[in-house]
Amino acid sequence: MNIENIEAFVYVVHFNSFNKAADALFLSQPSITARIQSLERELDVKLFLREGRNFTLTEKGKEFLPYAQQILQSYKKGKQQLRKKQASLHEIKIGCTLSAAHYMIPEILPRLKMKYPDMLIKLTTASSEEILEKVLQEEIDLGLVRNIGHPMVDSVTFYDDPIRLYVHREHPFIHQPPRSTEEVGGQSLVFFECGSFDWIKVHRLFETLNRPPDIHLYIDNLETAKKCIVKGLGIGFLPALSARQEVKDGLLFPIQLPSMALLSLRTNLISLKGEGTRIRQAFLEVIEWADFATDFGLNSSIDQSK
């Protein structure tokens, strides 16, 4: 039985879409369809009922699904065992987003090297989607990514970074904080665009206003957006971690806005399902997250038991 056909079946069910499964496996939609059809011939059953573009699992498909998931997981574990990845912690390959590389990794690595001075650490910086793919391809052991999921990875919340409104040191909001989103919308805004679902929530704050916010700059680079706010080109929303040093230096000031109390950027720690437990646990223990979070002035929601 072809493992790739089983993989296609599991992905289609997980994403509830042939197209999304194809994207996740870097295949064309016809290739996914061909693999499903090949699996159905091998099993001599119909796994899906198709009605135009819609489909549902047949009863036989529902029966086969847990076995397919188990086969795929066992296959991955077998590969990992042969490569003896769990044999030692002499090397760890970490992938992370650009923001994690800028603001977290420089604090994490000294702690890691202190406990494992002979460990070789390889760091890769990429988008969350690229890091996820590298974990799936076993090119890296651990990934620090935005809140994304996949059936073949284990994921735990690593930190929630509050999104706050920041102003430069001469702005009147320092002495007279805004009482509503309308007051903020009337200011010149620098908008950092990071594209994540969490960040889109910031935009939704202004959807109910009678007039659109006065946005002077749209910027897709966090450091650039931060420096523009420091220079007085406008006020803007930033993850607290990114502005930590500027706040200490008196260059930026966080402004409390009730409507933003629950907004944050979540970063998860991911590893291949069932295969990164030892490395992940060692990583978490070394971080000593309680002290780490206190240093940053953040409240972590990580579950160390996972």
Mean pLDDT of the region 3-15: 91
Topology of the domain covering 160-264:
D-Maltodextrin-Binding Protein; domain 2 (3.40.190)
Instruction: Spell out the domain ranges in the chain.
Output: 3-83, 91-159+267-296, 160-264
Q: pLDDT digits over 253-267, tens only?
A: 999 887 777 778 888
Q: Which residue has the higher pLDDT, 300 or 155?
A: 155
Strand pairing partners for 217? 190
- Considering the segment(s) 3-83 as one domain, its CATH architecture is Orthogonal Bundle (1.10)
Check for a shared fold between 3-83 and 160-264. no
Q: What is the pTM of this model?
A: 0.63
Q: pLDDT digits over 26-45, tens only?
A: 889 899 999 999 999 999 99
Tell whether the model's pLDDT for residue 290 goes beyond 80. no
CATH 3.40.190.10 fits 91-159+267-296, yes or no: yes
**Structure confidence at residue 86 as a pLDDT band (50, 70, 90):** very low
Assess contact for 228 and 219: CB atoms under 8 A.
Answer: yes
Q: Which residue has the higher pLDDT, 303 or 47?
A: 47
pLDDT computed for residue 36 by the predictor = 92
Mean pLDDT of the region 109-115: 80
